[in-house]
Amino acid sequence: MTGVVPRVAVVGAGYWGPNLIRNFLASPDWDLVAVCDLDEARARRVIGNRTAVDVETSVDRLLARPDLDAVAIATPARTHASLALSAFAAGKHVLVEKPLAESAADAELMIDSARRAGRVLMIDHTYCFTPAARYIRDTIEAGDLGDVLYVDSTRINLGLVQPDVDVFWDLAPHDLSILDFVLPGGLRPAAVSAVGADPLGTGRACIGYLTMPLPSGGSAHVNVNWLSPTKIRQVVIGGSRRTLIWDDLNPQQRISVYDRGVDLTGPAADVGERTARAVSYRMGDMVAPALGEREALAAMVAEFAAAITERREPSTDGTAGLRVLSILEATSASLAAAGAPAPVQDHSASMIKEYA
């Protein structure tokens, strides 16, 4: 498809669909040909006076269209797998909003179907396409922070209690997808621990704390909360050389890099013997890099088009979505076990073997 602008339809005109529709319409990389929703009136309201964009109420009819190369799915998670499988069977590329599917098993089916059909499967991990996330990934990759010793990610607000998922499944996919994107090798913990609380008696956790180990021997911690009167979107990444803070609600200074930390000197303790070590505090400069401002969804739809035209995997492919889902499933298992560590299923080995 090199040199040809791909044609796309958005399935779902509810909460997230209008954002995708707006960005596909504005993108020079796409031709939005249709919006599909069971509620025809809602779909027409979203597209407004765009007479060149058709409204469909049948997915089967939509997927049978010969003038369609790709679909973007913005429907409830329980429908993602069935819609994606139908789209691959019809020869279409697929973009799916988070989470990739309702379960890791469904996500594996989607990845398998995409590979067999020779089509692109991309997950809309929106925050991975922000200039801040790109800067963090490049900074860690360059070694400027040193070894990543800890991560503290906070995503709290006075939010809507969801009717079908707890606060982990609602908010933590953002934090997990960011960490999977910026950390070398992705996010691959062997196990996670999660505790939550439901002080309102809603039947699901409204406050949650998730902890997982890092390859450095350190720890990553994610705090999610629907009940906070203040909104915080902050990620702290502590390295052996520098510490980086991403404050997403501060457009004037989203990223701050601190050359400050703790240095240990002297011999390490022998087994069974306490050995004192000298502690020194490093107090260096703080740098606030200037970042360009571009809507993350605009960059995301551009990457979807590039993956199709260049015949490659997108930067947030199906396996990235599967890693996040595997951690969410382990989180639910740990929550049910009162915080006991729950293993994270590693799907990579079986999938690599299957397609080797």
Average pLDDT in the 159-185 region?
A: 92
Measure Cα distances from 319 to 101, 120, 134, 147 in Å: 12, 12, 19, 25
| Residues 333-337, mean pLDDT to the nearest whole number | 97
Q: Which helix (H) or strand (E) holds 118?
A: none
Residue 282 pLDDT > 80: no
State pLDDT tens for residues 214-271: 988 899 999 999 999 999 999 999 999 999 999 999 999 999 999 977 776 655 555 4
Q: Provide, rounded to the nearest whole percent, the portion of the chain with pLDDT above 90.
A: 83
356, pLDDT greater than 50: no
- Whether the domain at 7-125+296-317 and the domain at 128-287 fall into the same CATH topology: no
DSSP assignment string, 125-142? -GGGGSHHHHHHHHHHHT
Give the mean pLDDT of the chain: 91
- Per-residue pLDDT reduced to its tens digit, 43-97: 999 998 877 899 999 999 999 999 999 999 999 999 999 999 999 999 999 999 9
Q: Are 328 and 99 in contact (CB under 8 A)?
A: yes
- The answer to whether residue 305 scores a pLDDT higher than 70 is yes
pLDDT, residue 85, reads 98
CATH class, 128-287 region: alpha beta
What's the mean pLDDT in 273-296? Answer: 78
Query: Are 238 and 259 spatial neighbours (Cβ–Cβ below 8 Å)?
Result: no
Q: Return the CATH number of 7-125+296-317, one of 3.40.1160.10, 3.40.50.300, 3.40.50.720, 3.30.450.40.
A: 3.40.50.720
Question: Letter for the amino acid at 87?
Answer: A
pLDDT > 50? residue 353: no
Domains of the chain, residue spans:
7-125+296-317, 128-287
Give the per-residue pLDDT at 285. 86
Bridge pairing between strands 191-197 and 342-343? antiparallel
What distances in angstroms separate CA 228 from CA 45, 158, 233, one per listed residue?
33, 5, 12
